[in-house]
Chains A and B, each alone.
Chain A
Amino acid sequence: MTSRKHDRTTLLIGATTPLLAACEGPQSALDPAGSAAELIARLWWPTLFVAVLVTLLVLALLAVAIFRAHKRNAALPLSARQSRNLVIAGGIILPLAATIPFALSSFSIGRTIDAPLPDNAMTVEVIGKLWWWEVHYLDEAGDRIATTANEIHIPVGEPVRFLLKSDNVIHSFWVPNLQGKTDMIPGRTNVTSMTANEPGVYRGQCAEYCGTQHALMAFLLVAEEPEAFDDWLAGQRQPAAAPETDAQARGHDVFLDAGCAACHTIRGTPANGEIGPDLTHIASRRTLAGATVPNRTGHLGGWITDPQHVKPGNKMPPSELTPEELKTLLGYLESLE
C-alpha cells in the first residue's frame, strides 16, 4: 500500500525501481511531498517564469541596442529623454515590479512554514554527530522514549516537530522533498517541523560542511501510514530481543567482549556505550553508516571489519575478529529487529 512513487532509493532500500525523470528523486526540492516543500516549490515555479522573462527582455533590449546601427553609416542614439525613460523603466520600475510581489509572497510563505505547531504535536529530537544522526522520540513530557540512528519514521499527514541539536560542529538537517534545511548549532536548539503528505522513503543529507565525511552523512526519512508508524514506534521502544539460539548468544558475547559495547548501546544488555549509534533495533534499519550502504549481511560484515574502506575518515575503528566470531556477531545483530 506504500506508494511506489517515492520509493526510489534503489540501492538503499533494496528496491529495483529504475531512475525516473531528471528533476524527480528521493532528495529533490522539485518533487515535494510535504507541506513546506510544496509551498516552496509553488514559490519557485512562478519565480523561475518571471526570471526567464526578465532575462529574455534584457538580452533582447541589449541585442536591439547593439545591432541597431550595425549596418548603417551613422549612429542612431536615443535622445536624452528616451534614455532617461529607458533607465527608469528598466532600472527602477522593472526590478520593483519583479521583486515586490516576490518578497511579499516569500514573507507570507515563510510565516506559514514557520508557524508554531500545537503543543501536543509529536516531537523528535535529532542530534548531529560526526558523521551520523542520533534520533530520539520524545513523549509529551519531553522524555526520550525510543532511540535510533540515521533513519527517522513519521506518520503521514501529521505535523511533526524536530528539535535540532549538535554537540560537536555545525550540521544542517535537510529533507528536500519535505522541508528546507535548518542548521544544528552547538549550544542551541533549533526547531523545525515537517508534514509528509505522501507516504514514501525520502533521503536527507547534511547540508553544512562538517569535516571529513560531510559527503556521506545522510539518513532516510520514512513517512508511513499512522498505524504502521505506531507499530514501528512500539517496536523501537522495546529493549533488544534476547538471543534465541546458541549462535546468537555467542554473538552477543562477542559484542560485549570485542569492545563494541564501549561505543554502542543495545538496550536490555550491558552494552551502554554512548559514542556510536544505538544498535538496539539495528536489523530494522534499511541502511548502515549514515545511509551509505544498504543494511545487508555482506555490507554489515564489511563495515565491522574495515569501516575505513566504506567511509574513509569515519570514527569507527576496525575490529579484529575471527571468521567464526564475525559470523556469530552478524547473526546476533541481524536478530535485533
Chain B
Amino acid sequence: MTIETHAGPRDVIDSPEETAQLERTWHSPGGFIGWFTHVNQRMIGKRFIITAFIFFLLAGILGIVIRLQLAAPEQQLIGPELYNQFFTMHGTVMMFFFAIPVMEGFAIYFVPLMIGTRDMAFPRLNAFGYYVYLIGGIVLFGSLLLSMAPNAGWFNYVPLSGKLYSPGYGVDVWTTMITFIEVSALTAAVELIVTTLRMRAPGMSLNRMPLFVWAALVMSFMIVFAMPAVIVSSTLLILDRLMDTQFFVVAGGGEPLLWQHLFWYFGHPEVYIILVPALGMISTIIITFTRRPIYGYTALVLSVVAIGFVSFGLWVHHMFTTGLPQLGMSFFTAASATIAIPSGVQIFCWIASLWGAKIRFHTPMLWVLGFFAIFVIGGLTGVMVASIPFDTQVHDTFFLVAHFHYVLIGGAVFPLIGATYYWWPKITGRMMSEAAGKWSFWLAFIGFNVTFFPMHQLGLEGMPRRIYTYATEMGWGDLNLLATIGALVLATGFGVTLINAIWSLFRGQQAEPNPWGAPTLEWATDSPPAFYNFRHIPVVASRWPLWDWERDGERAVVTGLRNDRREVVLTSVLDAKPVGVQVLPAPTIWPFVSAVAASIGFVGIIFHPIFFVIAFFLVFFSLVAWFWPRRPWRED
C-alpha cells in the first residue's frame, strides 16, 4: 500500500481491466436470492432509509386518522379501542421504526463515503441488523392488521401493560419487537463506532472529520449506553407476562416506577439520538450552501458531545408528577435547563456561519432554515416543562404533544428531509425537482405550525393527551379542527416530496458527481457510487478535501490495495495514520438466515416457551455457518 499524488480532479490510475476486476470483487449479486446476500454498506443503508420512510408514511397515516377523530367533539369515526391502538402504534413506529432506523440508515450509507472507505467494519452484522429491523416492523404492523396491536402507549407503562390489565397478544408483540429492534440499533451503533474510529481515509484525523460523522459517532455511543436499559425493562416485562415473574407487580412486591426509570433512562437519550444526527445534517448543508468553512467547528463538536452526555441525566423530568421528592427532582430541572447552552452554542455558530454569506437558497437550505424557526420554539417550551410546578400543569396534555412535535419534527424531520434532497443525487444519480421541493417545504412548514401551534393552547386549556373524544362543552373543538386542517396540509407537503422523489427516478436530471459544490468525500465519487465506493481510497489534508483539490488541481490517493478481494485501509484512531489492511467478507446468506432464526424465537415465545429452545439451536447453527473461519491471511 502506497500513497501517490496525481494531477486532475478524478482518480483514474488503474487500467480498465483492473477497474473491472474491482467491480466484480465488490459486486452485489442480482436476482431474488442474491438480494438476501447483499452486505455492501450502501445497499444496507439504502434499505434502512427506504424501509424507514415506508414506516413514516404508515405511521403518518395513523396520525392523520387520529387527527380526524379529534377534529370535532364527540366524533364517532373510530372507537376507543382502535384509537388507543392507533396512537400506540403511531408513537411506537415513529420513534422505534422510523426515527432511529432512518438516522442509522443515513449514517450507514454516508459515514463510509464521508470518511473515504469502501464498506463498514462488519458488513455481515450490518445486514443482520437490517433484517432484524425489517422483520420486527412487519410483525408489528401485521399485529395491527390482525387486530392484536399493542394499545398501552409507546411508553407502555406498567401495570397497564401487565398481564392483568392488557391480556391478549398486543403488549407481548410490542415488548418482544422492541427488544428485537433494539438489537438492530445496537448492531448499527457498534458498526458505526468501529468504522468511524478505524477506517477513516489516511490523513482524516479526528479534528478533520465531517460534522455529520461526528454526529453519527455521538449517536452511536448514545445508542450503546441507552438501549440496554430498554432491553432490560422490556425483558423484565415479558418475563412478568409470560413466566409470571413479579418485577412490576405490586401484589408480588414489584415496583411500577422501576419501569418508568428504566424506560426514561433510555427514552430521554432516545430523543437526542434522533436529534444529534439531524444537527450533523444541518451543519453539512450550511457548509455546502454558504460555500465556506463553518464557524466554530470545535464548538459544534463539543456541543454535540455535551448534549450526548447531559441527555443521560434528564430522565426524571418525565416523572415530575409521580410524587418523587422535590429536592431530588430539582436537579433534573437544572440539568434540563443546561441543555439550552450546547443547543444555543450550536444555533449561534450556525448564525455566525450564515452571517453575510452568499447563501444559495436551494431546497435543502430551506428545510434547514425552517428548522431554526421551529426548533427554537420547541427548545423554549422544553425549558418551560423542565420546571416542576409548570410541568404539573402541562404534563400529559396537548402542550406536551405540541412541544415534542416541535422538537422532533422541527429538530429532526425537517433537517432529515433537507438532507434527503441534499444527498438524493448521490444515492440515485438523479436530481429532485427544485420547484416541487420548495412547494413541499412551504406546505409542510405552514401545515406543521397550523397543526401543532394550537396544541400549546389546548394543553393549557386542560386537554389531556391520549383521549379519543371530548365533550362539546369543553370548548376545544375549534382549535382541534384547525389542527386537523393543518395536519392535512402537512401531509400534503410531505406527499409532494414523495411524488418528487418517485418522479425524479424516471425524469430527474442526471446528477454530476458533485452537483452542489460540497467539500466532503462522498462527493468525490460517482453519483451513484460504484459498489466499491472509491476507485482509490483518498488521502485528505484538511476538513474540506474537495475544495483543496479544486484549488490545487491535484490530489493524493492510496494505491496498492488488491482488486481481487475486498480490501480496505485501517488507520489509527486519532491521527488516521495507515496501520493495516482489512479483508472484508463477500456476500452471504447467513445474516438473513440468522435473523430469521432469531425472529422465530422472539415471535414464537409470545405463543409458547418452546420456541426459545428451538430458536436457540437454530441461531446456534446459523451463527456457526456465519462465523466459519475465512482465514484470508493464508492467501498472502
Check if B250 sits within 8 Å of A186, measured CB to CB: yes
Contacts of B392 in A (CB 8 A): 40, 179-182
B530 is an interface residue with CB less than 8 A from chain A: no
Check if A62 sits within 8 Å of B153, measured CB to CB: no
| Complex CA distance for A47 and B380, rounded to whole angstroms | 10
Check if B160 sits within 8 Å of A210, measured CB to CB: yes
Nearest CB on B from A297, distance (A): 20
Contacts of A69 in B (CB 8 A): 356-359
Known: A190-B323, A205-B462, A313-B81. A65 touches B354 (CB 8 A): yes
A68 is an interface residue with CB less than 8 A from chain B: yes
Chain B residue with minimal CB distance to A164? B323
Contact with A along B339-350 (1 / 0, CB 8 A): 011011111110
Check if B256 sits within 8 Å of A170, measured CB to CB: yes
| Complex CA distance for A64 and B352, rounded to whole angstroms | 11
Of the residues A8, A77, A203, contact of B292 by C-beta under 8 Å: A77
| Complex CA distance for A110 and B325, rounded to whole angstroms | 11
Chain B residue with minimal CB distance to A76? B356
Contact with B along A214-248 (1 / 0, CB 8 A): 11100000000000000000000000000000000
| Complex CA distance for A170 and B349, rounded to whole angstroms | 44
Chain B residue with minimal CB distance to A61? B351
Q: Which of B189-197, B271-279, B381-389, B513-521 contacts A (4 or more CB under 8 A)?
A: B381-389
Interface residues on A, range: 35 or more
Check if B473 sits within 8 Å of A87, measured CB to CB: no
| Complex CA distance for A176 and B395, rounded to whole angstroms | 11
Check if B354 sits within 8 Å of A170, measured CB to CB: no
B25 is an interface residue with CB less than 8 A from chain A: no
Check if B157 sits within 8 Å of A170, measured CB to CB: yes
B333 is an interface residue with CB less than 8 A from chain A: yes
Interchain Cβ contacts within 8 Å, total number: 271
Of the residues B341, B384, B473, contact of A95 by C-beta under 8 Å: B341
Tell me what chain B mostly uses at the interface: helix, strand, loop, or mixed: helix
Nearest CB on A from B634, distance (A): 55
Check if A87 sits within 8 Å of B296, measured CB to CB: yes
Known: A59-B372, A187-B255. A27 touches B461 (CB 8 A): yes
Known: A212-B80, A215-B468, A312-B80. A181 touches B389 (CB 8 A): no
Contacts of B460 in A (CB 8 A): 23, 28-30, 44
Check if A109 sits within 8 Å of B389, measured CB to CB: yes
A141 is an interface residue with CB less than 8 A from chain B: no
Check if B159 sits within 8 Å of A186, measured CB to CB: yes
Of the residues A65, A174, A182, A208, contact of B323 by C-beta under 8 Å: A182
| Complex CA distance for A22 and B472, rounded to whole angstroms | 13
Contacts of A29 in B (CB 8 A): 393-394, 460-462
Check if B352 sits within 8 Å of A214, measured CB to CB: no
| Complex CA distance for A82 and B351, rounded to whole angstroms | 12
Of the residues A83, A169, A186, A313, contact of B352 by C-beta under 8 Å: A83
Of the residues A19, A77, A172, A203, contact of B356 by C-beta under 8 Å: A77
Check if A25 sits within 8 Å of B376, measured CB to CB: no
| Complex CA distance for A37 and B393, rounded to whole angstroms | 8
Check if B348 sits within 8 Å of A90, measured CB to CB: yes
B20 is an interface residue with CB less than 8 A from chain A: no
Contacts of B359 in A (CB 8 A): 66, 69-70
B79 is an interface residue with CB less than 8 A from chain A: yes
| Complex CA distance for A185 and B255, rounded to whole angstroms | 10
Chain A residue with minimal CB distance to B88? A209
Known: A99-B340, A99-B383. A107 touches B333 (CB 8 A): yes
| Complex CA distance for A174 and B459, rounded to whole angstroms | 13
Nearest CB on B from A100, distance (A): 8
The listed residue with most B CB atoms (<10 A of its CB), out of A98, A106, A172, is: A106
Contacts of B389 in A (CB 8 A): 36, 39-40, 43, 106, 109-110, 113, 180
Contacts of B396 in A (CB 8 A): 172, 181, 207-209
Contact with B along A182-194 (1 / 0, CB 8 A): 1101111011000
| Complex CA distance for A96 and B338, rounded to whole angstroms | 8
B321 is an interface residue with CB less than 8 A from chain A: yes
| CB-contacts of B290-328 with A (<8 A) | 292, 295-296, 299, 321-323, 326
List 11 A–B pairs whose Cβ atoms lie within 8 Å, in order of A's numbering.
A10-B473, A22-B478, A23-B457, A95-B341, A103-B337, A107-B330, A172-B321, A180-B321, A211-B165, A214-B467, A312-B80
For the complex with contacts A51-B380, A99-B337, 20 further pairs of A-B residues with Cβ separation under 8 Å are A22-B475, A22-B479, A39-B389, A44-B390, A51-B377, A51-B384, A58-B351, A62-B372, A75-B357, A83-B296, A87-B352, A90-B344, A91-B341, A109-B389, A111-B326, A180-B389, A188-B257, A209-B160, A209-B465, A312-B79
Interface residues of B (CB under 8 A from A): 79-81, 84, 152-153, 157, 159-160, 165, 250, 255-257, 292, 295-296, 299, 321-323, 326, 330, 333-334, 337, 340-341, 343-349, 351-352, 354-359, 369, 372-373, 376-377, 380-381, 383-384, 386-397, 457, 460-462, 464-475, 478-479
